[in-house]
Structure 1
Amino acid sequence: MRLNDSVGVLTGVGPKTVTGLNSLGIFSIRDLLFYFPFRYDDLQARPLAELADQEKALFKGTVISAPVVSYFGPHKVRLNVRLLIEQTVVIVTFFNQPWLKDKFLPDEEIAVYGKWNESRKSVVGLKVITQNTQNELDPIYSVNKQIRQKKLIELIQSAYQETGELLIDIVPENIRQHYRLLTDSELVRQMHFPKTIQESDAARRTAIFREFFLFEVKIQQVRQTNGQVDDGLQLAYDLPSLKEFIATLPFALTGAQKRVVNEICADLKSPQHMNRLLQGDVGSGKTVVAALAMFAAVTAGYQAALMVPTEILAEQHYQKLVKLFAPMKVHVALLTGSMKGPERQSSLTEIETGRANIVIGTHALIQDTINYAKLGFIVIDEQHRFGVNQRRSLREKGLNPDILSMTATPIPRTLAITTYGEMDISTIDELPAGRRPVETSWLKINQADKALALTRNQLDHGDQAFVIAPLISESDKMSLQNAEDLYEKLSKYFAPKYQVALLHGQMSSDEKAATMASFNRNEIQVLVATTVVEVGVDVPNANIMIIYNADRFGLATLHQLRGRVGRGDRQAFCYLIADPQNEVAVKRMEIMTQTNNGFTLAEADLKLRGQGDIFGDKQSGLPEFKIGDPVGDNNSLVTAHQVALELFREDPQLEAPQNLQLKQYLSELKDNENFD
């Protein structure tokens, strides 16, 4: 039996059990051995006087009377048994486990794991500890209806007895010794069968580092492989022309913008493919940086493309960049899915002939009918909103073009090395001079009229306002504010002096574009919308943002929405209307009123919500670890990252004797996607 063999080779494991194990992500013997418990029940009996109410513990006592089984409802069974514990009679109750009756024999000692009720001096039993074990801990695994705890433990014991001695250390010995880590064999034994809390702690510490280290090693291998590919474009851009373009800008670049422009331009000149992410807070000036990079590509004789997630954003970028590039005689084309007839054909011709130096559009840019003359550089805005295949399709349109991805959703620094580990990251970490923080207030729902009154006052001073609702129309499932009702209400509230309009995702592209154009021209003063305006929409005259049921949104979305205002030189205001129902939602409201820094908010969101779906719909691509927590175990993560970097710096081909097992692991990983 080998570690890479299917779990089906284990004695007593048939097709049904194999299917059940597969559903847990267990395919090979190795997978089974490294399927670790997520917690342990403490099997050390403690004095009753030390136990807190509702605390789970092990209780050892003598059965002083036969158990009594009673029925108190359909399919509901109660088993009561009295134990003498420390000269105290304790009633232990098990629910819906009548078969345990035979475990309790009068005058015999028994151990029960359960929850202590201090006031009643009783225990709600969870399980009977019958095995004769010296272990202090009982491992608890994530299981399902197909594979139960008992069955899984039996299989792990069997696999360890058969193959435990075959475990070979993947983490190099010098690293293990330096950080006092267990061997793989010790790790597996102490994770599954710890004799003491100290053993389980040592094993868990090793398991966390090992998982992070192997992840970081894979990342470094990808970076190294990409770095060896020299068939990318070398864009020999015209530096004097780029400086001339910068001089035409109506504002001075920030120090952060200058730094990231230099980083991107160095990539353009390199023969290696650019694989860079530009991240910056809302309003930090990413679009200008992208414009400079695209212009550099144009001076090198290539076309550049900017792909954005929505037509509203594409139109906005088009209008802005046409003005920005006008002094440099750069021709910009727009291409969206809603364009038809002569307008669309004109854009297609400009792109194919090369008259269009820069193309701005949505996913329409990757349609089969689009042919580029000489596409050499691509910018993907809000990159997490496009799938891998969409990004690949755009790349295949050109001549192995360089790609710059951008995001206004700041990734917490604690996760940047895992989320974008294979990419180079440029960060704009300062806002343009004169940009004022948005004043943010949290109001209860019964105070909403106060926000409207404050908004009317701001409108009287020439400002415009966004009003956001979580739903488009009324729902019988959720009693939340909807945009249609809000539009009707506010149209009356602000009439006749101010115009109110409605914008949501179910409107046609033409309707949305027309509404946004009217709002931009200040023909509409109040725009009632859903989160369709979350990303990128830029209306410098809009200085009020009201968000109804704000507690229904994550911090990232709230921050993006708030970023739609305060883009001019006047003070902007954001009103969060919410009656949060839990502590986490309350903290979100409080944090929003305390800071405008997107990176600070991202860190806070991470701590509130854990490493999971931070930015919604799994769009962020955050890795999911089985054991380690990138937040709680961040020190270990950072150390593993540094160790992996140093390892590949010293031995990029992993040829040193102590690294050969790691090299073998990475080689097998390519051939077996289920390999641990």
Structure 2
Amino acid sequence: MSTLQQALQLEADRGFTDLMGRRERFSGFLARNLREADPAMPEPQQRQELAAAFEGYGELSPGRRQTLVRRCREHLHALRRSLQPATPMGPPRLRLTATPSAPPASTEGRGGAPAPAWNPESPLGEIRGIGPRTAARLAQLGLFVVRDLVHYYPRDYLDYANLVRITGLEVGRTATIVATVRRCHGFSSPRNPNLAILELHLSDPTGRIRVSRFFAGRRFASPGWLKSQERQYPPGATVAVSGLVKESPYGPAFQDPLIEVLESPQAPVRHSAIGRLMPVYGLTEGLGADRLRQAMAAVLPLVEQWGDPLPADLRRVEQLIDRPQALQQIHNPSTQELLRASRHRLVFDEFLLLQVGLLTRRRELTSRPAQPLQSPGGDSLVTRFLALLPFPLTAAQQRVLDEIRADLAREQTMARLVQGDVGSGKTVVAIGALLTAIDAGCQGALMAPTEVLAEQHFRKLAAWLPQLHVSCALLTGSTPARRRRELLTDLANGQLQLLVGTHALLEDPVAFARLGLVVVDEQHRFGVAQRNRLLAKGLQPHLLTMTATPIPRTLALSLHGDLEVSQIDELPPGRTPIRTTLLRGSERDRAYSLIRDEVARGQRAYVVLPLVEESEKLDLRSAVEVHRQLSQEIFPDLMVGLLHGRMASQEKQKAIQAFAAGQSQVLVSTTVVEVGVDVPEASVMVIEHAERFGLAQLHQLRGRVGRGAAASHCLLLNDSRQAQAKQRLDVLVRSTDGFEIAEMDLRLRGPGQVLGTRQSGLPDLALASLSDDGAVLEQARRVAQQILGQDPELAHHPQLAALLARQRARLTAAVRLN
């Protein structure tokens, strides 16, 4: 097409003489190319007419030749435009004035006396622009001093900086347009005479839109007031409009948006919100969004004086913006890029402080000299114990046991976490560690969160340790007083070598002669303070913690950054895969039919419920009610046991022993069976109201079956109609990988519920997300290691040291309060 245009241009330049080329004349060249053009292109008939006209070009007068050439050029130009996609119109331009800043904080005290310089701990009521009344409202949100308010981050943003043309508006998104007023009409609502409506018809080069504003009140419905509003928006005026785009009968529309009439299309916007990113904060009664933003504007200028806890060189290498700039931009972002950069910096700071605290605690723990614990060569207790086992250790078990024994042999205190999926054999590894300590002449302690789990551990140990001539005892809240006195005496004089128990081990009368190793099972159920209290019962005992709840790496680094982590990532051979099925509550009979079939084969079944007894507030089936129904109506010919946390310890033990021995074939239980109950013949796990449990907890419960050779089943009964509940449970049906399930649980429910408790050991994070900011956490941990490697006492990082001290003081105060 461009070749034809060049030929036409050359013919026009030479005076329409029908130029002779190398092979043919201009007219013949045009006629041939027009006839051979692709017929699929638009207007083929017009091209054929032009070709016929060029065949008679030599006989035309110069004026008619000129007209024909012009017609052909116009046709080719139109054809070219129709074949090229139209470039979309770019977004409108909008000039913004500088964000109005609050007046500087007053430097005068009462009576005109100079006030002290404002600092992060200054009370909000003393700041000019806030005042006592607003300060009282802010106190309801837990905001008392300047630091509290600056660190009260927005929970969301209204993106009025999203500048678009009218045709680019998307329903459900906030946006800003710059348009021309076509007409404006004010009227009273025909349904409500006290409601006035102002309707603007706007247009830009891409389309038209209708904008409505509503005014409730009799005075707004007067014709005079409505006329005055119409005069503010004369036809032809340029307006900037920001708001949420909603669907209307006329297509996308704005309802009650922010509107400003511009003095000219190039004039700047004076409004503080139009065209900007607007922060959205959590509010309280009596405190509106505008008032909170004004209070924030009053304190943000003070941030410049706070400085940055990180040196400039480090910020440059890690590509971090200044902290004062980050604090200002998180509340008053200029662009999306600066908002992302400021959030990254503040998330990084939260994780850095957390990691410096954890790594400092780890250094304090491991720097204390400890007695090396080594088994004598050859015939050690560990060697003899492994010979008693009816199975060899898996490669993963052997690797982790070797790591633990290498730690115990050092003159530094061990602090190690062992993670392993349900049934991976952590208990055997822990016993090997405890026997290493006992072989070295020390005592061991094994603490579990529940009596059921503690008794389960003790029964396993009681089967093996007497053969090794190692003394072992159990201490729980249910231990009789006489037995407790005997046990504590033996413990204090060193005759008792291994003590298994619950929180009862933390009590003051429990005193060890020579405690060498503390093992904490399901350690996330205990706080750091409880763990340290047990450690304080020895001179410098080593610490081994275990969990069968797979913890995502980000959560592990946040909670247990002071521990080395070992992972048993291999299941013992012979474990049959568990088939997981999701059923509706109405399909409960299918579950009962499967239970009957499995019991007929000599197997047993669990039925787990979230509640012990019926609740007036929650419409859920309870363990007591279901036990009655199953034993009397569904399985009258079977023995149905009952187990829950309110039962006395002896009753619990009796119920578990009856189930393990086969005296009861079905065990109705609460989550007491989540850990510790080990019955190889159990092949069915029915979980009622599965949507009420976390994924990690369901995975734990599922691990109670599949411990024998028979095929096992886990049936999840879901009574919820919520799509998210089904989505969560589908993850469990699809996957048997505990770590993948824990990652999904963290993403869907947050860290507090993944661990089954909102415990005080969780990191205090205002902005960071453990599920979304894993990469920033890794970066912060690397930088924390670098800083502490070069400056262990933080002597060259005084601001960072002060922040760490403040965080410790706050956590200590919270523990005292609890």
**TM-score normalised by the chain length of structure 2:** 0.75
- 1:306 counterpart SS class: strand
Partner of 2:323: 184
- Tell me, in whole angstroms, the C-alpha distance in 1 between the residues paired with 2:769 and 2:133: 32
- Tell me, in whole angstroms, the C-alpha distance in 2 between the residues paired with 1:315 and 1:663: 45
Relative to 1, partners in 2 of residues 1:626 and 1:68: Cα closer, same or farther, differing over 3 Å?
farther
Partner of 2:438: 298
Relative to 1, partners in 2 of residues 1:607 and 1:160: Cα closer, same or farther, differing over 3 Å?
closer
What is the CA distance between 1:672 and its match in structure 2? 7.0
Relative to 1, partners in 2 of residues 1:66 and 1:495: Cα closer, same or farther, differing over 3 Å?
closer
Contact 1:306 1:380 in 2 (8 A): yes
Relative to 1, partners in 2 of residues 1:314 and 1:185: Cα closer, same or farther, differing over 3 Å?
closer
Tell me if 1:362 matches 2:502.
Answer: yes
What is the CA distance between 1:341 and its match in structure 2? 4.9
Partner of 1:513: 653
Amino acid at match of 2:359: Q
What is the CA distance between 1:135 and its match in structure 2? 5.6
What is the CA distance between 1:310 and its match in structure 2? 1.9
1:42 aligned to which of 138, 155, 159? 159
User: Structure 1 residues 48-57 or 302-311, which shifts more?
Assistant: 48-57
What is the CA distance between 1:212 and its match in structure 2? 2.6
Partner of 1:238: 376
- Tell me, in whole angstroms, the C-alpha distance in 2 between the residues paired with 1:197 and 1:173: 24
What is the CA distance between 1:47 and its match in structure 2? 3.0
Tell me if 1:107 matches 2:231.
Answer: yes
- Tell me, in whole angstroms, the C-alpha distance in 1 between the residues paired with 2:458 and 2:560: 29
Equivalent positions of 1:460-479 (< 5 A) are: 460-479=600-619
Unaligned runs of 5+ in 1: none
Partner of 1:4: 120
What is the CA distance between 1:91 and its match in structure 2? 4.9
Contact 1:353 1:373 in 2 (8 A): yes
Relative to 1, partners in 2 of residues 1:70 and 1:347: Cα closer, same or farther, differing over 3 Å?
farther
Tell me if 1:86 matches 2:203.
Answer: yes
What is the CA distance between 1:492 and its match in structure 2? 4.1
Q: Deviations over 1:98-128 (max 9, x none)?
A: 9999999333257453342243554343767
Q: Deviations over 1:512-558 (max 9, x none)?
A: 11111111211111111111211221112212111122122111121
2:410 aligned to which of 270, 273, 292? 270
Partner of 1:204: 343
Equivalent positions of 1:153-552 (< 5 A) are: 153-161=293-301, 163-230=302-369, 232-238=370-376, 240=378, 241=380, 242-492=382-632, 495=635, 497-552=637-692
- 2:642 counterpart SS class: strand
Contact 1:333 1:350 in 2 (8 A): no
Contact 1:298 1:357 in 2 (8 A): yes
What is the CA distance between 1:46 and its match in structure 2? 3.0
What is the CA distance between 1:13 and its match in structure 2? 4.1
- 1:107 counterpart SS class: helix
Relative to 1, partners in 2 of residues 1:188 and 1:469: Cα closer, same or farther, differing over 3 Å?
closer
What is the CA distance between 1:195 and its match in structure 2? 2.7
- Tell me, in whole angstroms, the C-alpha distance in 2 between the residues paired with 1:170 and 1:25: 25
- Tell me, in whole angstroms, the C-alpha distance in 2 between the residues paired with 1:198 and 1:100: 42
Amino acid at match of 1:363: H
Relative to 1, partners in 2 of residues 1:256 and 1:3: Cα closer, same or farther, differing over 3 Å?
farther
User: Structure 1 residues 16-25 or 477-486, which shifts more?
Assistant: 16-25
Amino acid at match of 2:184: I
Contact 1:336 1:364 in 2 (8 A): yes
User: Structure 1 residues 628-637 or 317-326, which shifts more?
Assistant: 628-637
Relative to 1, partners in 2 of residues 1:493 and 1:147: Cα closer, same or farther, differing over 3 Å?
same
- 1:540 counterpart SS class: coil
What is the CA distance between 1:358 and its match in structure 2? 0.8
Unaligned runs of 5+ in 2: 1-116, 234-238, 261-268, 814-818
Amino acid at match of 1:80: I
What is the CA distance between 1:173 and its match in structure 2? 1.9
- 1:105 counterpart SS class: helix
- 1:406 counterpart SS class: strand
Contact 2:120 2:145 in 1 (8 A): yes
Tell me if 1:56 matches 2:194.
Answer: no
- Tell me, in whole angstroms, the C-alpha distance in 1 between the residues paired with 2:535 and 2:196: 66
- Tell me, in whole angstroms, the C-alpha distance in 1 between the residues paired with 2:232 and 2:812: 48
- Tell me, in whole angstroms, the C-alpha distance in 2 between the residues paired with 1:351 and 1:534: 30
Partner of 2:254: 123
- Tell me, in whole angstroms, the C-alpha distance in 2 between the residues paired with 1:535 and 1:649: 40
Contact 2:523 2:545 in 1 (8 A): yes
Amino acid at match of 2:146: I
Which structure has the greater CA radius of gyration?
Answer: 2
- Tell me, in whole angstroms, the C-alpha distance in 2 between the residues paired with 1:69 and 1:118: 17
Number of paired residues? Answer: 668
Contact 2:752 2:759 in 1 (8 A): no
User: Structure 1 residues 634-643 or 289-298, which shifts more?
Assistant: 634-643
User: Structure 1 residues 99-108 or 319-328, which shifts more?
Assistant: 99-108
Amino acid at match of 1:326: P
What is the CA distance between 1:467 and its match in structure 2? 1.0
Amino acid at match of 1:484: V
Relative to 1, partners in 2 of residues 1:81 and 1:623: Cα closer, same or farther, differing over 3 Å?
farther
Q: Deviations over 1:230-251 (max 9, x none)?
A: 3x44434435413333233222
- Tell me, in whole angstroms, the C-alpha distance in 2 between the residues paired with 1:609 and 1:59: 38
- 2:362 counterpart SS class: helix
- 2:768 counterpart SS class: coil
User: Structure 1 residues 586-595 or 49-58, which shifts more?
Assistant: 49-58
What is the CA distance between 1:388 and its match in structure 2? 4.3
Q: Deviations over 1:365-384 (max 9, x none)?
A: 22333333332322121222
User: Structure 1 residues 34-43 or 97-106, which shifts more?
Assistant: 97-106
- Tell me, in whole angstroms, the C-alpha distance in 1 between the residues paired with 2:311 and 2:214: 49
Contact 2:418 2:565 in 1 (8 A): yes
Contact 1:60 1:85 in 2 (8 A): no
What is the CA distance between 1:563 and its match in structure 2? 1.0
Partner of 2:76: none
Q: Deviations over 1:151-170 (max 9, x none)?
A: 33223322233x24313122
Q: Deviations over 1:258-302 (max 9, x none)?
A: 222223223333343333222211111111111111111111212
Contact 1:70 1:79 in 2 (8 A): no
What is the CA distance between 1:217 and its match in structure 2? 2.8
- Tell me, in whole angstroms, the C-alpha distance in 1 between the residues paired with 2:435 and 2:287: 59
Contact 1:136 1:197 in 2 (8 A): no
- 2:599 counterpart SS class: helix
What is the CA distance between 1:72 and its match in structure 2? 7.1
- Tell me, in whole angstroms, the C-alpha distance in 2 between the residues paired with 1:238 and 1:72: 93
Q: Which has the higher contact order (CA 8 A, sep 6+)?
A: 1
- 2:500 counterpart SS class: strand
Partner of 2:77: none
Partner of 1:29: 146
- 1:35 counterpart SS class: coil
Alignment root-mean-square deviation, CA: 3.3
- 1:106 counterpart SS class: helix
